[in-house]
Amino acid sequence: MDSKWLEDFLCLSQYGSFSRAARARHVTQPALSRRIRTLEETLGAPLFDRTTTPVTLTCFGVRFEPYARRVLETLSQARYELGTLSPASENTIVMVSLHTLSINVLPDIIGFLRQSESGLRFNVNSSVQGVDNHFEALLNRQIDLLITYDSLQARPEPEVAQQLQNIVWRYERFIPVISSRLINGIERQNAPIPWLSYSDYTIVRRIVGPAEEKLQSRLIKVFESGLSESVREMVLRHIGMAWLPASTVAEQLASGELVQYSPDERALTCEVPITVWCNRGENRSVLQRCWEKLAQPRLP
Protein backbone atom coordinates (compact mmCIF):
# COMPACT_ATOMS: atom_id res chain seq x y z
CA MET A 1 0.00 0.00 0.00
CA ASP A 2 1.40 3.38 -1.04
CA SER A 3 1.48 5.98 1.75
CA LYS A 4 0.33 8.57 -0.81
CA TRP A 5 -3.03 6.78 -0.92
CA LEU A 6 -3.45 7.44 2.80
CA GLU A 7 -2.54 11.10 2.32
CA ASP A 8 -5.06 11.31 -0.53
CA PHE A 9 -7.70 9.71 1.71
CA LEU A 10 -7.17 12.20 4.54
CA CYS A 11 -7.07 15.15 2.14
CA LEU A 12 -10.36 14.15 0.50
CA SER A 13 -11.86 13.59 3.94
CA GLN A 14 -10.84 17.14 4.88
CA TYR A 15 -12.06 18.94 1.76
CA GLY A 16 -15.07 16.79 0.83
CA SER A 17 -14.39 17.60 -2.83
CA PHE A 18 -12.35 15.67 -5.37
CA SER A 19 -11.41 18.84 -7.27
CA ARG A 20 -10.24 20.75 -4.18
CA ALA A 21 -8.38 17.75 -2.80
CA ALA A 22 -6.68 17.18 -6.17
CA ARG A 23 -5.43 20.79 -6.19
CA ALA A 24 -4.13 20.45 -2.65
CA ARG A 25 -2.35 17.20 -3.56
CA HIS A 26 -0.90 18.68 -6.81
CA VAL A 27 -2.45 15.95 -8.96
CA THR A 28 -5.23 15.84 -11.52
CA GLN A 29 -8.73 14.97 -10.37
CA PRO A 30 -8.81 11.70 -12.39
CA ALA A 31 -5.49 10.66 -10.85
CA LEU A 32 -6.80 11.32 -7.34
CA SER A 33 -10.00 9.39 -8.09
CA ARG A 34 -7.98 6.41 -9.36
CA ARG A 35 -5.81 6.37 -6.25
CA ILE A 36 -8.81 6.55 -3.91
CA ARG A 37 -10.48 3.75 -5.84
CA THR A 38 -7.32 1.63 -5.63
CA LEU A 39 -7.19 2.17 -1.86
CA GLU A 40 -10.81 1.10 -1.55
CA GLU A 41 -10.19 -2.00 -3.63
CA THR A 42 -7.14 -2.86 -1.52
CA LEU A 43 -9.15 -2.54 1.70
CA GLY A 44 -12.21 -4.22 0.21
CA ALA A 45 -14.61 -1.51 1.37
CA PRO A 46 -16.06 1.80 0.07
CA LEU A 47 -14.54 4.67 2.05
CA PHE A 48 -16.51 7.59 0.58
CA ASP A 49 -20.15 8.22 -0.24
CA ARG A 50 -19.94 9.91 -3.64
CA THR A 51 -23.69 10.59 -3.83
CA THR A 52 -23.50 13.41 -1.28
CA THR A 53 -22.25 16.98 -1.64
CA PRO A 54 -19.76 17.40 -0.12
CA VAL A 55 -18.36 13.88 -0.40
CA THR A 56 -18.59 12.19 3.01
CA LEU A 57 -17.00 9.21 4.70
CA THR A 58 -18.91 5.95 4.83
CA CYS A 59 -19.00 3.99 8.07
CA PHE A 60 -15.95 2.12 6.75
CA GLY A 61 -14.15 5.41 6.07
CA VAL A 62 -14.92 6.73 9.55
CA ARG A 63 -13.50 3.55 11.06
CA PHE A 64 -10.42 3.65 8.83
CA GLU A 65 -9.49 7.32 9.34
CA PRO A 66 -7.68 6.99 12.71
CA TYR A 67 -5.69 4.05 11.36
CA ALA A 68 -4.57 6.12 8.35
CA ARG A 69 -3.45 8.96 10.62
CA ARG A 70 -1.49 6.65 12.90
CA VAL A 71 0.26 4.96 9.98
CA LEU A 72 1.37 8.29 8.49
CA GLU A 73 2.48 9.62 11.87
CA THR A 74 4.52 6.47 12.45
CA LEU A 75 6.14 6.73 9.02
CA SER A 76 7.00 10.38 9.60
CA GLN A 77 8.57 9.61 12.96
CA ALA A 78 10.53 6.72 11.44
CA ARG A 79 11.89 8.96 8.66
CA TYR A 80 13.00 11.52 11.23
CA GLU A 81 14.69 9.00 13.52
CA LEU A 82 16.43 7.17 10.70
CA GLY A 83 17.64 10.48 9.34
CA THR A 84 19.23 11.41 12.64
CA LEU A 85 20.99 8.03 12.81
CA SER A 86 22.70 8.45 9.44
CA PRO A 87 26.21 9.86 10.00
CA ALA A 88 26.62 10.72 6.31
CA SER A 89 23.43 12.76 6.06
CA GLU A 90 24.80 15.79 7.92
CA ASN A 91 27.23 16.63 5.12
CA THR A 92 25.07 15.52 2.19
CA ILE A 93 22.67 17.86 0.40
CA VAL A 94 20.00 16.12 -1.69
CA MET A 95 18.81 18.22 -4.61
CA VAL A 96 16.25 18.03 -7.40
CA SER A 97 16.47 20.21 -10.48
CA LEU A 98 14.55 20.53 -13.70
CA HIS A 99 16.49 18.83 -16.47
CA THR A 100 16.95 22.13 -18.30
CA LEU A 101 18.58 23.64 -15.21
CA SER A 102 20.81 20.66 -14.44
CA ILE A 103 23.27 21.53 -17.22
CA ASN A 104 24.58 24.91 -16.10
CA VAL A 105 22.52 26.27 -13.19
CA LEU A 106 22.84 23.30 -10.84
CA PRO A 107 26.66 23.13 -11.17
CA ASP A 108 26.81 26.89 -10.51
CA ILE A 109 24.84 26.51 -7.28
CA ILE A 110 26.92 23.55 -6.12
CA GLY A 111 30.16 25.44 -6.87
CA PHE A 112 28.86 28.49 -5.01
CA LEU A 113 28.03 26.44 -1.89
CA ARG A 114 31.35 24.62 -1.93
CA GLN A 115 33.18 27.92 -1.60
CA SER A 116 32.36 27.92 2.12
CA GLU A 117 31.39 24.24 2.61
CA SER A 118 34.20 22.36 0.87
CA GLY A 119 33.38 19.09 2.67
CA LEU A 120 29.82 18.93 1.37
CA ARG A 121 28.59 15.99 -0.69
CA PHE A 122 25.76 16.45 -3.16
CA ASN A 123 23.21 13.91 -4.32
CA VAL A 124 21.00 14.86 -7.27
CA ASN A 125 17.84 12.82 -6.79
CA SER A 126 16.49 11.82 -10.20
CA SER A 127 13.75 9.58 -8.81
CA VAL A 128 11.39 12.45 -8.02
CA GLN A 129 9.50 13.06 -11.27
CA GLY A 130 6.88 15.70 -12.00
CA VAL A 131 6.37 19.14 -10.52
CA ASP A 132 3.41 17.88 -8.50
CA ASN A 133 5.78 15.63 -6.53
CA HIS A 134 8.65 18.06 -6.05
CA PHE A 135 7.11 20.10 -3.25
CA GLU A 136 5.76 17.00 -1.55
CA ALA A 137 9.32 15.61 -1.50
CA LEU A 138 10.49 18.80 0.21
CA LEU A 139 7.78 18.56 2.84
CA ASN A 140 8.61 14.90 3.48
CA ARG A 141 12.35 15.71 3.68
CA GLN A 142 13.14 13.33 0.85
CA ILE A 143 15.11 16.19 -0.70
CA ASP A 144 16.78 19.29 0.74
CA LEU A 145 16.75 21.77 -2.14
CA LEU A 146 14.59 22.15 -5.25
CA ILE A 147 15.75 24.27 -8.20
CA THR A 148 13.01 25.20 -10.64
CA TYR A 149 11.57 27.96 -12.78
CA ASP A 150 9.10 30.17 -10.96
CA SER A 151 6.10 30.01 -13.25
CA LEU A 152 2.43 30.13 -12.31
CA GLN A 153 2.06 26.47 -13.24
CA ALA A 154 4.98 25.41 -11.04
CA ARG A 155 4.07 26.92 -7.68
CA PRO A 156 2.80 25.06 -4.62
CA GLU A 157 -0.65 25.53 -3.14
CA PRO A 158 -0.80 28.27 -0.45
CA GLU A 159 -1.07 25.68 2.34
CA VAL A 160 2.15 24.04 1.13
CA ALA A 161 3.95 27.31 0.38
CA GLN A 162 3.55 28.40 4.01
CA GLN A 163 5.76 25.48 5.03
CA LEU A 164 8.49 26.30 2.50
CA GLN A 165 10.87 29.15 1.79
CA ASN A 166 12.43 30.24 -1.47
CA ILE A 167 14.96 32.62 -2.95
CA VAL A 168 15.54 33.78 -6.52
CA TRP A 169 18.95 32.55 -7.68
CA ARG A 170 18.90 34.56 -10.92
CA TYR A 171 16.74 35.20 -13.97
CA GLU A 172 16.75 33.28 -17.22
CA ARG A 173 15.79 34.68 -20.63
CA PHE A 174 14.30 32.40 -23.25
CA ILE A 175 14.93 33.83 -26.70
CA PRO A 176 13.97 32.58 -30.19
CA VAL A 177 17.18 31.44 -31.90
CA ILE A 178 17.90 30.00 -35.32
CA SER A 179 21.05 29.14 -37.25
CA SER A 180 22.51 31.82 -39.48
CA ARG A 181 22.23 29.36 -42.37
CA LEU A 182 18.42 29.37 -42.13
CA ILE A 183 17.61 32.93 -41.13
CA ASN A 184 18.20 34.69 -44.47
CA GLY A 185 15.68 32.69 -46.48
CA ILE A 186 13.04 32.99 -43.81
CA GLU A 187 13.36 36.75 -43.43
CA ARG A 188 13.67 37.46 -47.16
CA GLN A 189 10.61 35.50 -48.23
CA ASN A 190 8.52 35.90 -45.06
CA ALA A 191 8.32 32.12 -45.30
CA PRO A 192 6.98 29.65 -42.75
CA ILE A 193 9.39 29.03 -39.88
CA PRO A 194 10.40 25.45 -39.06
CA TRP A 195 9.62 25.20 -35.37
CA LEU A 196 11.32 23.03 -32.74
CA SER A 197 8.81 22.65 -29.94
CA TYR A 198 8.94 21.54 -26.31
CA SER A 199 6.45 18.87 -25.32
CA ASP A 200 3.18 20.14 -23.87
CA TYR A 201 3.80 18.58 -20.44
CA THR A 202 7.04 20.52 -19.85
CA ILE A 203 7.31 23.66 -17.73
CA VAL A 204 9.42 25.33 -20.45
CA ARG A 205 6.56 25.00 -22.96
CA ARG A 206 4.28 26.83 -20.55
CA ILE A 207 6.88 29.57 -20.11
CA VAL A 208 7.49 30.21 -23.81
CA GLY A 209 3.93 29.48 -24.93
CA PRO A 210 2.74 33.13 -24.95
CA ALA A 211 5.68 34.15 -27.15
CA GLU A 212 5.12 31.21 -29.51
CA GLU A 213 1.51 32.26 -29.97
CA LYS A 214 2.64 35.61 -31.39
CA LEU A 215 4.25 33.76 -34.31
CA GLN A 216 1.72 30.93 -34.50
CA SER A 217 0.61 31.75 -38.02
CA ARG A 218 4.16 31.22 -39.34
CA LEU A 219 5.34 28.32 -37.18
CA ILE A 220 5.43 24.85 -38.75
CA LYS A 221 6.28 22.20 -36.17
CA VAL A 222 9.04 19.89 -37.43
CA PHE A 223 10.31 18.50 -34.11
CA GLU A 224 9.14 18.06 -30.53
CA SER A 225 10.98 16.96 -27.39
CA GLY A 226 10.71 17.16 -23.63
CA LEU A 227 14.47 17.75 -23.29
CA SER A 228 15.94 21.19 -23.93
CA GLU A 229 19.28 19.58 -24.88
CA SER A 230 17.58 17.78 -27.77
CA VAL A 231 15.91 20.99 -28.93
CA ARG A 232 19.20 22.88 -28.69
CA GLU A 233 21.05 20.22 -30.71
CA MET A 234 18.44 20.41 -33.47
CA VAL A 235 18.86 24.19 -33.64
CA LEU A 236 22.63 23.73 -34.01
CA ARG A 237 22.01 21.21 -36.81
CA HIS A 238 20.06 23.86 -38.79
CA ILE A 239 16.71 22.07 -38.44
CA GLY A 240 14.66 25.05 -37.25
CA MET A 241 13.99 27.74 -34.67
CA ALA A 242 13.36 27.29 -30.94
CA TRP A 243 13.16 29.27 -27.73
CA LEU A 244 16.29 28.46 -25.71
CA PRO A 245 17.80 29.81 -22.48
CA ALA A 246 20.11 32.64 -23.52
CA SER A 247 22.81 31.36 -21.17
CA THR A 248 23.03 28.05 -23.04
CA VAL A 249 23.64 29.62 -26.47
CA ALA A 250 25.72 32.69 -25.53
CA GLU A 251 28.86 31.31 -27.22
CA GLN A 252 27.05 30.45 -30.45
CA LEU A 253 25.36 33.86 -30.56
CA ALA A 254 28.70 35.61 -30.06
CA SER A 255 30.33 33.61 -32.87
CA GLY A 256 27.42 34.19 -35.26
CA GLU A 257 26.63 30.49 -35.58
CA LEU A 258 23.18 31.29 -34.16
CA VAL A 259 21.17 34.48 -34.32
CA GLN A 260 18.24 35.72 -32.29
CA TYR A 261 15.13 35.93 -34.43
CA SER A 262 13.63 39.46 -34.45
CA PRO A 263 16.04 40.66 -31.76
CA ASP A 264 14.27 44.03 -31.51
CA GLU A 265 10.89 42.49 -30.73
CA ARG A 266 10.87 42.21 -26.94
CA ALA A 267 7.53 40.44 -27.00
CA LEU A 268 9.26 37.30 -28.26
CA THR A 269 11.58 37.14 -25.22
CA CYS A 270 10.42 35.41 -22.04
CA GLU A 271 12.14 36.10 -18.73
CA VAL A 272 11.56 33.84 -15.75
CA PRO A 273 13.11 33.62 -12.25
CA ILE A 274 15.13 30.55 -11.30
CA THR A 275 14.04 29.75 -7.75
CA VAL A 276 15.57 27.59 -5.02
CA TRP A 277 13.11 26.07 -2.51
CA CYS A 278 13.74 24.60 0.94
CA ASN A 279 11.63 23.27 3.83
CA ARG A 280 11.07 26.13 6.29
CA GLY A 281 11.17 23.70 9.23
CA GLU A 282 14.55 22.21 8.33
CA ASN A 283 16.88 22.26 11.36
CA ARG A 284 20.05 20.62 10.03
CA SER A 285 22.87 23.05 10.72
CA VAL A 286 24.65 22.41 7.41
CA LEU A 287 21.50 23.09 5.42
CA GLN A 288 20.80 26.22 7.43
CA ARG A 289 24.29 27.50 6.60
CA CYS A 290 23.81 26.69 2.94
CA TRP A 291 20.47 28.50 2.89
CA GLU A 292 21.99 31.60 4.52
CA LYS A 293 24.71 31.62 1.86
CA LEU A 294 22.21 31.22 -0.99
CA ALA A 295 20.16 34.12 0.41
CA GLN A 296 23.17 36.48 0.45
CA PRO A 297 23.14 39.28 -2.16
CA ARG A 298 25.37 38.43 -5.11
CA LEU A 299 26.86 40.47 -7.88
CA PRO A 300 24.89 40.15 -11.13
- pLDDT tens digits, residue range 267-280? 789 999 999 999 99
DSSP secondary-structure letter at 262?
S
Beta strand ranges found along 200-287 (DSSP E): 219-225, 242-245, 258-260, 270-279
Arithmetic mean of pLDDT over the chain: 86
Spell out the domain ranges in the chain.
Answer: 3-85, 89-171+273-294, 172-271
- Does the domain at 172-271 match CATH 3.40.190.10? Answer given as yes
Task: Please determine, for residue 88, whether its predicted confidence score (pLDDT) is greater than 50.
Answer: no
pLDDT band of 131, cuts 50, 70, 90: low
Task: Please determine, for residue 120, whether its predicted confidence score (pLDDT) is greater than 80.
Answer: yes
- Does the domain at 3-85 match CATH 1.10.10.10? Answer given as yes
Q: Are 124 and 262 in contact (CB under 8 A)?
A: no
pLDDT band of 132, cuts 50, 70, 90: low
Q: Are 154 and 131 in contact (CB under 8 A)?
A: yes
Give the CA dihedral 140, 144, 145, 146, nearest 10 degrees: -30
> Domain spanning 89-171+273-294 has what CATH number?
3.40.190.10
Q: Are 100 and 82 in contact (CB under 8 A)?
A: no
* Residue 188 confidence (pLDDT): 64
Residues 6 or more apart whose CB falls under 8 angstroms from that of 166 comprise 150, 275, 276, 277, 278
pLDDT band of 87, cuts 50, 70, 90: very low
* Residue 19 confidence (pLDDT): 92
* Residue 89 confidence (pLDDT): 59
| Distance of alpha carbon 265 from alpha carbon 242, whole angstroms | 15
Residues 6 or more apart whose CB falls under 8 angstroms from that of 190 comprise 218
Domains 3-85 and 172-271 share a fold: no
Q: Are 294 and 113 in contact (CB under 8 A)?
A: yes
* Residue 162 confidence (pLDDT): 87
Q: pTM for the complete prediction?
A: 0.66
What proportion of the chain, given as a percentage, has pLDDT over 90?
A: 48
Question: Pairing mode, if any, of strands 56-57 and 48-49?
Answer: antiparallel
168-226: per-residue pLDDT in tens? 999 999 999 999 989 877 766 678 899 999 988 788 888 999 999 988 888 999 999 98
| Distance of alpha carbon 23 from alpha carbon 26, whole angstroms | 5
